[in-house]
Amino acid sequence: MVLELKKPRPIWQIMFSTHHTDVGLLYTVTGLSFLFMAGVLAMMIRTHLFFPGQNFLISDSVTFNRIFTVHGLTMLFLFALPVANGIGNYLVPIMVRYKDMAYPKLNAIAFWMNPIGGALLWLGFSDTSWVSYAPYSVIRAPGPAADMMIFGLKILGISSILSSINFIVTILKCKHPDLPLRKVPLFAWSMLTVSLMTLVAMPSYAAALIMLLTDRLGVSGFFNPTAGGDPIAYLHLFWFTFHPEVYIFLLPAIGMMYEIIPRFSRKPLYSTGSGVFAFVMLGLIGFASWGHHMYSTGMDFTTKVVFMIGTLAAVPASGMHVFNFLATMWGARIRFAAPMKFAVGGIALFFSAGAGGVLNSAMPLDFISHGTYWVVGHMHLFLTGTIAFGFVGMVYYMFPFITGRMYNEKLANIHFVMMLWGTVQVFFTQHLLGLEGMARRIYDYPPEYASWVQLNQIATVGAWILGGGFVAFLINLLYYSSKGKEANMDDPFGLGGKYYYPHTAKNPHHVGY
Amino acid sequence: MGHDTAEWVFVGIVIAILLYVGVDSWVVQKEVEEVPADAETIKVTGQQWFWSFEHQDGTKEISTLHLKKGHAYNFEIYGKDVMHSFNIPDWVVFEDVVPGHVNHAWFAPDQAGTYPIQCREYCGLLHYNMRGSLIVEDTP
């Protein structure tokens, strides 16, 4: 029944399997490993910024630049995407009642591109910053680091296109004939939406990467002004992929909250229709706002207004998700086990991140916040506050189903409190740092700016608290997956009622659903 | 309250807030982008990793920019190598330096003092130290 526990298998059987739960497990474990690796880099960055003007911990700016570049790339491409794909692999076939993903071998190939892409990013350790704006990345960034990054991202891009195709075909074509699309659970809807978005968004960046590479080789000059090119072209191609990509990272986390919240509220979801509508709306509107990353590049007034409207238009749909969650929890007998805590914390932080985002999109305010720590705080509130909270909650939720054992609830509680506290302390403080004018991606700052020093130190202490929370998570994952109490597989969280899918995953026909 | 009414009211409130934000920033931005006719042009060049300035009368300065209180200044921003961002945080002067493009930003300081100038777009090794200072003089 439960795969890893009841039938202990040698690890290569899982590694070379094409079954969707095995591939899902590989994705999730890989993603979480990269989360811890990139988390160590983040701790280094924050610890370094504790003391201004002292070369503390990181002794030169090149190393610092490399560290924040690889931190960003890893968190986005090797943590956020793989974990979403992992949970998606695990649950989507079960939710649409099919025996596996549509193309199991393609699925395994898409997964195995991740470690390879990851190895290229980490062995190269590029210093271009994750956006790798031209012409810096063309004329100044040292090779082979930047070239390895380009190849690594290329491979990861192909991987995400392959897995998107797989999800789309699985959901639309392999769905059980008795199951109408509108009855498909919302997590599967979120995977469908982001897969379609990936197919539209990713090619633009894939093209930009090839142009970047040929520019670096000197055979073309797409983005190099001295060869007749235009750096702004790179920015458009880049943000046309990566603004939608924001939603590609975000929506699976929202989908996971749709799994967790009704279950722990012991109440049906307020409205499935509104959830589907909001997913599809975000999927469409996500493509109308990439220009708000470029207000200050010399964009004319009308273009700025158009992109501001496109950006603001995404807010009502995000608000519908929040409303849906709150209305579901309203008057419910909620059981605050770890998954529910993380989901609710994630919603609160999603709301505050979104509110900050509205201010960013307002043109005059963007000129205050853009390129400062405000933006760092804002996008980390989404990535840590919403996406990581949703993912962590879902990992705790899946924990008994995957391992057959229970995590330690007390430790999970410590993890939750430290993670919430830390997230608020680091990233809210970074918003204030931005208002004080501190630019992002700086190795050092003048010690005579007293407010910068204070706020940086507050943020760094917050980061340590956040990091401490993840130590608790690591203990839960490593120790309690093999030594924890055996879980009651019918009702591991004591919610009453019967459980549906995850533990029936090994049953080829998923009749248990 | 009906199942859907509450949600419609909620979405309505959100849209009303967004309309306010959108219209207000349209009005403010329109005003901010109106360059006064008597603004003096200052050429700003950003390169790895310092700022140079050229006044209308041909005077050149490096890293430190001297301006007069009560005058309007229009920056013409040029780039030489990679992208930078010309930023005087205290006066909300902020515009990217894009090689191959000429960008503009203007302001009219009404308070004398010394203000930091910095680069706000990552530009490599010494990005963190690409600083200068703006000195606004009290002389009329």
Question: For A367, which of B4, B92, B122 is closest by C-beta distance?
Answer: B92
Nearest chain B Cα to A312, which residue?
Answer: B18
Question: For A364, which of B29, B90, B123 is closest by C-beta distance?
Answer: B29
Q: Counting beta carbons within 10 angstroms of the beta carbon of residue B122, is it exposed (0 to 12), middle (13 to 18) or buried (19 or more)?
A: buried
Three-class SS state of B40: strand
Q: Are B83 and B96 in contact (CB under 8 A)?
A: yes
* Average pLDDT along chain B, 140 residues, taken 10 residues at a time: 77 94 94 92 95 94 94 95 95 94 94 95 94 90
Phi, psi of B134 (to 5 degrees): -105, 125
User: What is the spatial distance between Cα A105 and Cα A122, in angstroms, rounded to a whole number?
Assistant: 26
Using alpha carbons, list the distances in angstroms from residue A310 to A314, A358, A375, A378. 7, 12, 19, 19
What residues of chain B, 54 to 113, have a C-beta less than 8 Å from chain A? 81-83, 85, 87, 89-90, 92, 94-96, 98-104
pLDDT of residue A12: 84
Would the pLDDT of A509 be above 70?
no
pLDDT of residue B6: 86
Per-residue pLDDT, averaged over A214-220, amounts to 94
Q: Please indicate if any CB of chain A lies within 8 Å of the CB of B129.
A: yes
Per-residue pLDDT, averaged over A80-91, amounts to 94
**% of chain A with per-residue pLDDT over 70:** 95
Three-class SS state of B64: strand
pLDDT of residue A506: 47
The reply to whether residue B17 touches residue A358, judged by beta carbons under 8 angstroms, is yes
Mean pLDDT, all residues of chain A: 91
Q: Please indicate if any CB of chain B lies within 8 Å of the CB of A142.
A: no
Nearest chain A Cα to B34, which residue?
Answer: A301
The reply to whether residue A437 touches residue B90, judged by beta carbons under 8 angstroms, is yes
CB contacts of B83 in chain A (<8 Å) are 133-136, 231
The reply to whether residue A446 touches residue B131, judged by beta carbons under 8 angstroms, is yes
Residue A81 inside a domain? The answer is yes
Mutate to test the interface with B, among A55, A60, A136, A223 (most CBs of B within 10 A): A136
**Residue A144, preceding bond cis, omega within 30 degrees?**
yes
Q: What is the CATH number of the domain that holds A490?
A: 1.20.210.10
The reply to whether residue A133 touches residue B17, judged by beta carbons under 8 angstroms, is no
pLDDT of residue A495: 85
Task: Quote the pTM value.
Answer: 0.93
* Number of domains within chain A: 1
R_g over Cα of chain A: 22
To which residue do tokens 């009368």 refer? B57
Best CA proximity match to A110, nearest among A32, A205, A30, A197: A30
Q: Please indicate if any CB of chain A lies within 8 Å of the CB of B10.
A: yes
Residue A138 inside a domain? The answer is yes
The reply to whether residue B32 touches residue A133, judged by beta carbons under 8 angstroms, is no
Residue A287 inside a domain? The answer is yes
Would the pLDDT of A499 be above 80?
no
Q: What are the pLDDT digits (tens) for A441-476? A: 999 999 999 999 999 999 999 999 999 999 999 999
- Smallest Cα distance from B31 to chain A, Å: 10
Could you list the residue range(s) of the whole structural domain that residue A460 is in?
17-501
ipTM over 0.90: yes
Residue A12 inside a domain? The answer is no
pLDDT of residue B97: 96
Hey, what amino acid is at B6?
Answer: A
Residue A475 inside a domain? The answer is yes
The reply to whether residue A323 touches residue B10, judged by beta carbons under 8 angstroms, is yes
